Chains A and B, each alone.
Chain A
Amino acid sequence: MNARAYRLLLLAYPASFRERFASDMTAAFVALARERRARSGLPGVVLLWLRTLGDAVSNGLAERAALRRALRTSSHRGSLMWVSFKHDVRYALRTMRRSPAVTALVVLTMALGMGATAAIFSVVRAVILRPLPYADAGGLYTVWVDVPAGSRVSSGWLGPALGERLVPVAPPYLADLRARTTSFARLAGVSPSWNMTLTGSGAATVVQALYVSDGLLDILGLSPIGGRDFLAEEHVRGGPRAVLVSQSIWRQVGGLGAPDGRSITLNGEGYTVVGLLPESAGLPGTPGDIWIPFVHNQFAQARQVTLMMVLARLREGVSEQAARGELQSVAQSLERDFPTSRGQGLALVPFADRVSRRARPMLLVLGMSVALLTLIAVANVANLLLARASARQREIAVRTALGAGRWRIVRQVLTESALLALGGAIAGVAIAYWSLDALVALLYSDLPPRADVRVDWQVLAFTALVALGAGVLFGLAPAFEASRGGASDALRHGARVGEGGRRIRQALVAAEIALAFVLLIGAGLLVRSFLNLSSVNPGFRTESILTASIGLPAARYPDGASCLQFFERLLASVRSLPGVQSAALVNRLPLGGATNNAVDIQIEGRQPETEPGAMSVDRRVGSTDYFELLAIPIIAGRVFDERDAPMSPMVAVINQSMARRYWGTNDPLGARVRIQLLSGPGPWLTVVGVVGDVRHHGLAAELRPEVWVPYSQAPVNGAVLVARTSAGAESMLVTLRRTIQSQDPELPVTPVTLETVVASSIQGPRSRTSLLTAFAGLALLLSVIGVAGVVAYTVSRSLRDIGVRMALGAERGDILRMVLRQGLTPAVIGVLAGIASALAGTRALSGMLFGVGRADPFTYAVVSVGLVATASLACLLPALRATRVDPISVLRVD
Chain B
Amino acid sequence: MTPIDPRSLLPLTEVAFEILLSLADGERHGYDILKDIERRTDGRLRLHPGTLYRALARMIDDGLVEQATTEDEADQRRRPMRMTRLGGDVAKAESARLAAQVGHARARRWLRKPV
Contact = CB atoms under 8 A, between A and B. Distances in A.
B51 interface: yes
A20 B59 CA distance: 13
B102 interface: no
Given A21-B56, A51-B48, 18 more contacts: A17-B57, A20-B57, A23-B78, A24-B78, A24-B79, A25-B53, A27-B30, A27-B31, A27-B77, A27-B78, A28-B29, A28-B30, A31-B31, A32-B49, A52-B48, A55-B48, A55-B49, A56-B50
B52 interface: yes
A159 interface: no
A59 B79 CA distance: 21
B34 interface: yes
Interface string B22-37: 0000000111001000
Contacts of A63: 54, 57
Interface residues of A, number: 21
Nearest to B52: A28
A44 to B, nearest CB: 13
Given A28-B30, A28-B31, A59 B78 contact: no
A24 B50 contact: no
A21 B53 CA distance: 7
A62 B34 contact: no
Interface in A32-76: 32, 51-52, 55-56, 58-60, 62-63
Contacts of B31: 27-28, 31-32
B78 A62 contact: no
A63 B77 CA distance: 22
15 contacts: A17-B57, A24-B79, A25-B30, A25-B53, A27-B29, A27-B31, A28-B31, A28-B78, A29-B49, A32-B31, A32-B48, A52-B50, A55-B50, A56-B48, A60-B50
Contact of A28 (B49, B54, B57): B49
In terms of DSSP, what is the predominant structure of the interface of chain B?
A: helix
Contacts of A28: 29-31, 34, 49, 52-53, 78
A17 B31 CA distance: 18
Contacts of A23: 77-78
Contact of B53 (A24, A31, A52, A62): A24
A24 B31 CA distance: 9
Contacts of B78: 23-24, 27-28
A28 B48 CA distance: 9
A142 B31 CA distance: 71
Nearest to B77: A23
Contacts of B56: 21
Interface in A500-541: none
Contacts of A27: 29-31, 77-78
> Considering residues A28, A29, A51, A62, which has the most beta carbons from chain B within 10 angstroms of its beta carbon?
A28
Contacts of B57: 17, 20-21, 63
A2 to B, nearest CB: 12
Contacts of B30: 24-25, 27-28
Interface in A821-866: none
Which of B54, B57, B77 gathers most chain A CB within 10 Å? B54
Interface in B44-64: 48-54, 56-57
A71 to B, nearest CB: 15
Contacts of B79: 24
Interface in A303-336: none
Nearest to B56: A21
A271 to B, nearest CB: 67
Interface in B1-37: 29-31, 34
Contacts of B48: 32, 51-52, 55-56
* Residue among B29, B49, B78 having the largest count of chain A Cβ atoms under 10 Å: B49
A53 to B, nearest CB: 10
Contacts of A58: 50
A23 to B, nearest CB: 4
Contacts of A32: 31, 34, 48-49
